[in-house]
C-alpha cells in the first residue's frame, strides 16, 4: 500500500495529468537506526522495518518521477504527529487516557516501556499545515516535517500527569517486557521546511498534550 499504490498514482499522473501535484507522507522510520540523533533530508535511508522499507521505497519513487518525468511529487518525512484521533495503542493516547483514568480512580497503575526513550512529538494539525505549504511550494522536493525538539517518554508522562493534577511517580512503572518500536532516537531537523515555506509549529509540546487531554475529557463527557 505504501509503495505500489503510490506508483500507480504517479504513473497515472504522468500519463493523464502531468500538472497534478502529489504529496507523499513518508515517515522518520525511513532512517531506521540512523548514525546521528538528528536527521535531515541528507540523512541516508536505512529502514529497519517493513513499514520503513515501504516508506523509503515511496520516497525513492517520488524522486524518480520528479527527476525522470518532471512531476511535482513531494515527500514529507513525518515525525510523531499527535491528535485525539490516535488509537489507544499509541503512546500519546495511552498516557493521556491512563492519567485521566487514574485521576478518576478507574485504574491504579500505568505500565509503559522505557521512560528514557526519546522522540520528537508535534501536533497533527501543524503537520497538515506543513503538507499544504509543501504542496503549494514553488518546486517539489523532500522535506523533514518535525519540531526539532528532543523529549523523553518521561517528559510526556510528567507533563500529562501534572496537567491532570496527579503525581506520576506514584502510578507509572517501567515494564521492560513491553516491546519498543524500532525507531530509536529520531529527532528531525525542519530547517529546510522552515526556510523554504515559512512553516513553524504553532503548538508547543506542553500545549499539544493539553489539547490531547481536553479532547479526551470531551469524549468522556459525550459517553
Q: At what angle do helices 153-164 and 205-222 cross, to 10 degrees?
A: 50
Q: How far is CA 117 from CA 160, 163, 183, 186, 205, in A?
A: 16, 21, 10, 10, 16
Burial-class residue 30 by CB neighbours within 10 Å (0-12, 13-18, 19+): buried
- State which H helix or E strand residue 153 sits in: helix 153-164
Tens place of pLDDT per residue across the chain (223 aa): 678 999 999 999 999 999 999 999 999 999 998 888 899 999 999 999 999 999 999 999 999 999 999 999 999 999 999 999 999 889 999 999 999 999 999 999 999 998 999 999 999 999 999 999 999 999 999 999 999 999 999 999 999 999 999 999 999 999 877 766 655 568 999 999 999 999 999 999 999 999 999 999 998 877 6
pTM over 0.85: yes
Q: What whole-number distance in Å separates Cα of residue 162 and Cα of residue 117?
A: 20
Q: What is the pLDDT of residues 162-175, one digit of tens each?
A: 999 999 999 999 98
**DSSP strand E in 4-131: where?**
21-27, 38-39, 72-78, 80-82, 110-112, 118-119, 121-123
Q: What whole-number distance in Å separates Cα of residue 36 and Cα of residue 52?
A: 17
Q: What is the pLDDT of residues 103-144, one digit of tens each?
A: 999 999 999 998 999 999 999 999 999 999 999 999 999 999
Domain layout of the chain by residue ranges: 4-218
Q: What is the pLDDT of residue 32?
A: 93
The domain made up of 4-218 has a fold known as Rossmann fold (3.40.50)
Amino acid at each position: 500500500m505504501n509503495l505500489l499504490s503510490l506508483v500507480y498514482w504517479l504513473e497515472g499522473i504522468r500519463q493523464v495529468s502531468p500538472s497534478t501535484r502529489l504529496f507523499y507522507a513518508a515517515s522518520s522510520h525511513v532512517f531506521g537506526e540512523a548514525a546521528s540523533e538528528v536527521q535531515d533530508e541528507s540523512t541516508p535511508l536505512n529502514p529497519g522495518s517493513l513499514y520503513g522499507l515501504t516508506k523509503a521505497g515511496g520516497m525513492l519513487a517520488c524522486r524518480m518521477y520528479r527527476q525522470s518525468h518532471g512531476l511535482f511529487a513531494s515527500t514529507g518525512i513525518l515525525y510523531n504527529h499527535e491528535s485525539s484521533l490516535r488509537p489507544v495503542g499509541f503512546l500519546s493516547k495511552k498516557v493521556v487516557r491512563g492519567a485521566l483514568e487514574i485521576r478518576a480512580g478507574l485504574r491504579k497503575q500505568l505500565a509503559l516501556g522505557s521512560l528514557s526513550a526519546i522522540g520528537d512529538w508535534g501536533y497533527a494539525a501543524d503537520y497538515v499545515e506543513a503538507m499544504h505549504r509543501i504542496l503549494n511550494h514553488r518546486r517539489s522536493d523532500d522535506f523533514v516535517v518535525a519540531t526539532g525538539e528532543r523529549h523523553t517518554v518521561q517528559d510526556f508522562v510528567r507533563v500529562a500527569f501534572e496537567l491532570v493534577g496527579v503525581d506520576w511517580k506514584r502510578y507509572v512503572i517501567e515494564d521492560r517486557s513491553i516491546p519498543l518500536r524500532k525507531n530509536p532516537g529520531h529527532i528531525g531537523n525542519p530547517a529546510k521546511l522552515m526556510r523554504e515555506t515559512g512553516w513553524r509549529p504553532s503548538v508547543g509540546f506542553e500545549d499539544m498534550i493539553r489539547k490531547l487531554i481536553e479532547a479526551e475529557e470531551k469524549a468522556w463527557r459525550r459517553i
